Homo-oligomer: A and B are copies of this chain.
C-alpha cells in the first residue's frame, strides 16, 4: 500500500466561508435558488455538504450571504460614480457605459439579476435586502443627480426617478437578454453598444439645448 500522499481534507476555517459563498454565487446564478442543490455548491467549494452547515445555518442563510457579497462592491461603485461628478450631468451619464461593462465583466450580473427577479416572490425579505441595500441607493442617487441638474436648468421637466429608470433600463434588459435568449440561439446584444447609443439618445431627449455637447 502506497504512503498517503495528501490528507483527505484540510482544516481551513478562515478560508471556507468565502470559498463557499463564491461557489454558491455561481450555482445560484446558474440555476436560481430553488433548483440549486447544496451538494453541488459543496462539491464546487471542494467540501462536503455537512461543512456548509458549520458556516451557514440554512440554505436561505447562505443565499443571504451571497446577496450581501454581490451587493457590497456595487453599492461602493454607484456612490463613487455619483460623488465624482457633481458637475454637468452629461459627464456623469457618458461615464455609464464603461462602468457597466466593468461590473458585468467582474460578476455574473445577469445571473444574479435573474435570481433576484425569479425568486423575489417566494423570498420577500430577500427582495427587500436587495432593494434597500443596492437598488434604492443606485436609483435614488441617480434621481437626485438628475433633480439637481434640473434645478441648474440642464434637464427638461419630467419626473427625475422615471428619468433614472429610463437611463438604466435598456442596459439591464440587454444583460437579461444575453442571459435568457442568447443561449438558445438568439442574437446577443452588445451591452456597451446599447449603453453608448442610449446615452446619446437620452442626452438629446432629456437635456435642454444649451447643456448638450
Contact = CB atoms under 8 A, between A and B. Distances in A.
Interface string A179-199: 111011111010001100110
* Of A122, A124, A165, A185, most B-chain CB atoms within 10 Å: A165
Nearest to A34: B34
A135 B182 CA distance: 12
Nearest to A135: B181
Contact of A32 (B122, B174, B177, B179): B122
Contacts of A116: 180
Interface residues on A, range: 35 or more
A189 B162 contact: yes
A136 interface: yes
Contact of A172 (B169, B186, B200): B169
Contacts of A198: 162, 166
B34 A184 contact: no
Given A127-B184, A173-B173, A194 B121 contact: no
B180 A173 contact: no
A203 interface: yes
A72 to B, nearest CB: 19
A121 B131 contact: no
B32 A127 contact: no
A206 B200 CA distance: 9
**7 pairs of A and B residues whose beta carbons are closest in the complex:** A118-B118, A201-B205, A205-B205, A34-B34, A169-B173, A169-B170, A128-B184
24 contacts: A30-B121, A31-B121, A32-B118, A32-B119, A111-B121, A114-B117, A114-B121, A120-B180, A121-B179, A127-B181, A131-B185, A135-B186, A158-B197, A158-B200, A159-B193, A161-B187, A162-B198, A165-B170, A165-B177, A169-B170, A169-B173, A173-B173, A201-B205, A202-B205
